[in-house]
């Protein structure tokens, strides 16, 4: 699921709430909130959760920019906030595990490759679990 329109803003916050981050044992179970994607196959950035490896990571294309080991429960609702300043390159990712966002980002990187918001959306590759996106907002 992705926006049909491509956006040019370089400073933005993406916020979303999801459930169903399954604990699959077979690859390629993974869930990706992607942004700065565009036409012509440009992949942009993704905040990716891989339940088998219990890893939440920030990636550009196939390059990992930051990662943390964390186990997320398939039945839990999780909030995810991405704060981006495309001019400086700063990308900060916050995770709400039901008690609010922490003061410090769980993931952080600086990369100026794709400064604009581009297209935004979710990609879920899961076997045996229902994945729900309650809402997604960009400001």
CA distance 120 to 139: 12
Q: Mean pLDDT over residues 44-49, rounded?
A: 96
133 token code pair: 């996106």
Write down all domains in the chain, each with its CATH number in brackets: 11-138 (2.60.120.200)
Report the candidate in 128, 112, 121, 115 with the shortest Cα–Cα distance to residue 20.
128
Helix (H) and strand (E) counts in the chain: 0, 10
Phi, then psi, of 112 in degrees rounded to 5: -105, 15
pLDDT digits (tens, 9 = 90+) for 65-116: 999 999 998 889 999 999 999 999 999 999 999 999 999 999 999 999 999 9
């Amino acid at each position: 699921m992705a926006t049909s329109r491509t956006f040019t803003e370089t400073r933005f916050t993406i916020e979303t709430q999801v459930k169903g981050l399954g604990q699959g044992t077979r690859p390629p179970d993974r869930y990706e909130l992607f942004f700065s994607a565009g036409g012509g196959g440009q992949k942009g950035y993704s905040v990716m959760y891989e339940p088998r490896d219990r890893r939440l990571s920030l990636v550009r294309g196939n390059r990992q920019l930051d990662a943390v080991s964390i186990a997320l429960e398939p039945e839990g609702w999780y909030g995810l906030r991405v704060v981006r300043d495309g001019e400086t390159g700063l990308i900060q990712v916050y995770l709400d595990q039901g008690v609010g966002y922490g003061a410090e980002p769980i993931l952080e990187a600086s990369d100026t490759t794709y400064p604009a918001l581009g297209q935004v959306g979710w990609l879920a590759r899961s076997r045996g679990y229902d994945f729900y996106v309650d809402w997604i907002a960009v400001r």
